Amino acid sequence: MTRKKDARDGLLISPIENGTVIDHITAGEALNVLRIIGITGTTTESISVATNVESKKMGTKDIVKIKNRELRKEEVDRIALIAPRASINIIRNYKVWEKKGVDIPDRVIGIVRCPNPGCISNTNEPIRSCFLVQKNGLRCLYCDWLITKDITSHII
């Protein structure tokens, strides 16, 4: 017999009519997820963020809900860099219209700054940073610098 949902459990974030719910984000990475998908303090989306939420699958997790915006596939895949277990739910009329995981992209463009101060991508040339996603980390397309850890701190 399943336990009847206790009102005290409450709803941490209210449901949205239309938009995207990003669930199973690695705990503590929600704000970086927003940066990766280009949501900053100056954008107009209505956002709800929950961090360190209890999760049976992950222990703790973060959740992000974005009202009235459906994330595109390439936006979603960037999230895999810092939250490889994230799942994306596209919501229409309060129902989950589509549910998908994230796939790690072959390359990430304009998201991560090369830590190599001598790299041409850190100058005023008309290019965007570009990293090839390899099994041992992110490799700068230009200077070959390999980022093996702490990718978050290099996000532009």
Partner 1 sequence: MRHIISVRDLSKEEIETILDDAAAIQSGSYDPSALRGKLLGLLFFEPSTRTRMSFAAAMARLGGDFLSMDSVEASSMAKGETLADTIRVVSGYVDAIVLRHPKEGAARLASEFARVPVINAGDGAGQHPSQTLLDLFTIRQSMPLEGIHVGLLGDLRYGRTAHSLAHALSLYNVTIHTITPKGLELPAGLAGELRDAGTEVVEHDDISTCVRDLDVLYVTRIQRERFPDAASYFKVASSYRVTPELLSGTRDHFIVLHPLPRVDEIDPRVDSLPCARYFEQSANGIPVRMAMLLRVMG
Give the Cα separation of 34 and 64 in Å (integer): 8
- The alpha carbon dihedral of 77, 83, 86, 92 has a sign of negative
Looking at beta carbons only, is 39 or 147 nearer to partner 1? Answer: 147
Minimum Å distance from CB 73 to partner 1?
25
Looking at beta carbons only, is 83 or 140 nearer to partner 1? Answer: 140
Minimum Å distance from CB 69 to partner 1?
32
- The alpha carbon dihedral of 63, 7, 59, 28 has a sign of positive
* Look-up of token digits 């960037």: 78
Q: Which residues of 131-151 are buried (b: 16+ CB within 10 A; e: fewer)?
A: beeeeeebbbbbeebebeeeb
Contact set with partner 1 (CB under 8 A):
116, 118-121, 123-127, 136-137, 140-146, 148
Looking at beta carbons only, is 93 or 136 nearer to partner 1? Answer: 136
Contact 124, 116 (CB under 8 A): no
Minimum Å distance from CB 54 to partner 1?
37
Looking at beta carbons only, is 47 or 119 nearer to partner 1? Answer: 119
Minimum Å distance from CB 156 to partner 1?
17
